[in-house]
Amino acid sequence: MRGEETEAERRRRWIEREAAKTQPKTMRCSKCGKEVDEYMEIAGRVLCVDCFLLEENEERGAMRMPGEGSGGG
């Protein structure tokens, strides 16, 4: 059962919300060195979204059979 929110509780909630709004944490991409606040952590490495997509493409490219899919659209 939940009682009514008291003034103090409301105040505390508000403060918590404000605290959650602190600046995003920036990390440095371990591949290109760019500082980003949106990043992926893969196997302990920090990658920006660009590098993450690049690596994913590379992985996919490596897995692909050679000679397959030329001139796709």
Phi and psi based region of residue 59 (left: phi greater than 0; alpha: psi -120 to 50; beta: remaining):
alpha
Report the residue number, 15 or 32, with the smaller CB distance to Zn ion. 32
* Total H helices, total E strands in the chain: 2, 4
45 is a contact residue toward Zn ion (CB under 5 A): no
- Indicate which single residue of 27, 31, 46, 55 sits in contact with Zn ion (rule: CB under 5 A): 31
Q: Which of 15, 26, 32, 42 binds Zn ion (CB under 5 A)?
A: 32
The partner residues of 39 in beta bridges, in order of sequence, read 48
Which spans of this chain sit near Zn ion (rule: CB under 5 A)? Answer: 29, 31-32, 48, 51
